Copies of this chain bind each other. A is one copy, B any other.
Amino acid sequence: MRSQIPRPTMKRLSVYLREIESSGFNDEASISSRQLGEATGVAAAQVRRDLACVGHLGHRGVGYCVGQLREELSAVFARGHDWSAALVGIGNIGRALLAYDRFAAQGFRIAAVFDKSPPKKKTLGYVVHPMSGLTTCTNEMSLRLGIIAVPAVAAQEVADQLVAAGITGILNFAPRHLDVPSNIPIRSVDLTRTLEQLAFEVAGGSPDETKSKK
């Protein structure tokens, strides 16, 4: 039986895959848990335990085959599947996402754009649909992800609409907690919150050292 992959492990697996893909290693090459750990800022033992969740990928005395690692990790994250997304909201964040070309590179694609008051003209090359078209588009285009880029006050309603339309996962940029059914995964990105947490640490929140790793 395939054991559940713990969330912290899953996040790191994603980072390992990113590292493998960006460092121009040959597919035949081997990489050790120590190397991969150093490149990603993770302890070697942690790397091994994480990778063990995916399967028996390593070769004792040698390390992990880069090509195989890439393949297995890609499979874990369902790379290559259709991850068409509906973007709702064309304010600053929405437009930035439309202009961001990096998504497409890894299989994610903003396939349809919606807004409460859609402009007549195309926005960054995209036709912007009114919210009333959400359900139809979701069904016809098999959209699976919803991206919420509307003001906080409107976010919960949009989330409800996305869920009703049949979306199965949500990426939320609105700075508030959203209530969605527990079978709909949701990830939130709140830049102000992130900065705030950073400020906390800068201000002395994080202690560190007295225990330095030699």
Contacts and interface: CB of A to CB of B under 8 A. Distances in A.
Contacts of A187: 194-195, 197-198, 209
A22 B195 contact: no
Interface string A198-210: 1111110111111
A137 to B, nearest CB: 18
A60 to B, nearest CB: 26
Given A10-B206, A81-B203, 11 more contacts: A18-B192, A19-B176, A76-B200, A96-B99, A103-B191, A103-B195, A169-B202, A181-B212, A182-B209, A183-B209, A186-B198
Contacts of A4: 206-207
A141 interface: no
Interface in A92-151: 92-93, 95-97, 99-103, 105-106, 108, 144-145
B102 A175 contact: yes
Closest 3 CB pairs of A and B: A96-B96, A185-B201, A169-B202
Contact of A14 (B15, B183, B197): B197
A200 B106 contact: no
A9 to B, nearest CB: 10
A78 interface: yes
Contact of A210 (B19, B180, B191, B200): B180
Contacts of A108: 192, 195, 199
Contacts of A96: 92-93, 95-96, 99
Given A22-B152, A177-B41, A202-B168, A11 B192 contact: no
A177 B15 contact: yes
A180 to B, nearest CB: 6
B198 A171 contact: yes
B185 A206 contact: yes
A46 interface: no
Contact of A176 (B5, B7, B22, B178): B22
Nearest to A42: B177
Interface in A37-84: 39-41, 76-78, 81, 83
